[in-house]
Chain A
Amino acid sequence: MSKPEPRVGLFVTCLVDLFRPSVGFAAVKLLEAAGCRVEVPELQTCCGQPAYNSGDKADTRAIALQVIEAFRDFDYVVAPSGSCAAMIKKHYPELFEKEPEQLAKAEELSARTFELISFLTDVMQLSDVEAAFPQTVTYHDSCSGLRELGVRDQPRKLLSSVNALSLVELSDADICCGFGGTFCVKYPDISNIMVTSKTGSIESTGAQTLLAGDLGCLMNMAGKLQRSGSDIQVRHVAEVLADMTDTPAIGAAEGDTRNGGN
């Protein structure tokens, strides 16, 4: 390779950090395979969405400044989440509309920040991956990635290069699963109707595994599928693309490592 390796700062996201580090390692593997040098700044915690969406602008700004500082020196900032990437890319600049100096920093960070899968395809020009997943899968488009970042075709394109995988589309792939961050615990009854509708259509696809690009949505849908007795497995799309499906699926029991079903 003649071009220098771009230096990528991985924005892990709080949910991946706490609940499913394997997604973070899948992201690292994919980024490295695409020719990036990956680092993980320790100064990161969360993108600030819980505060932002609760109206707490002061804390959001403080967290945003911390993220801006932590990722100052990278060529790119990549997050395995449409929602966190959109927070940095779309909403950080809104936080500093009246402060030109901070605004410039936020916009500069915004320009360098990407959601993982679209970064791989759109920036690193990746068109296929080396992975196999002998299953029928379906894919849910998480709202922020889809509508704020335009992530739709990119994961489908890479999934089509996975050996033995067949994708069957969800009838309501673009409709919210009812997670919505704190929404799902503030309005549990409504969230439940939404996720029930979503898991209903997931089940009607006949897929063995559900994939998506945001862990919050995935935990919500996995939790509902499991509560209703479904044995559909749920994984972050990066795990499949990175060929790292030997860990139990989200919410699956220890030792349940089926990755190809049969």
Chain B
Amino acid sequence: MSLLSFARSKIVGVEHPEQDTLLAHGILDDNIYSLELDVEVKLPLFEITRVEGRWRRYTTVECPHALAKLQNAVGLRIVDKEFGRKIRQVVGKEGCTHFANLLLECCDGIRQAAVYGEWVESQGKRFAQTKRDYCRSKFETVPGLRNSCIVYSRMSKEDF
């Protein structure tokens, strides 16, 4: 029987408490590390307004100092082109790469919720828009969505 030599799990949940606010709670747990994050993002700018982290399991006496570096993410916009690179630098390299990893996971969850949330909410109700029209309408409100993948590249071409 083959044993697992390494395993990592991540869980992200997103709440939408106010029209202009999305909140994510994330957990990362693997053979080495265990950590948690809460992230608040404000719309329509998709700006991070609050981050809080907690360690459950870490490896060195210096790891707790990484928590303060999470504040480097406040003020950044999750839809900016260089967002991932910035987080990997100012939260990851200057703090902890695993917190940066979980923060990006949480922010991606928030982005998905912002793009598709209204569609999910509309299920079971009368909704006139087709999926394509719905997504096209999001091109105007979610920066960076246009041309972001094979499907949205095709839709962007259809627009012109």
Instruction: State yes or no: do A and B come from one complex.
Output: no
Q: List B residues at the A interface (Cβ < 8 Å).
A: none
Q: List A residues at the B interface (Cβ < 8 Å).
A: none
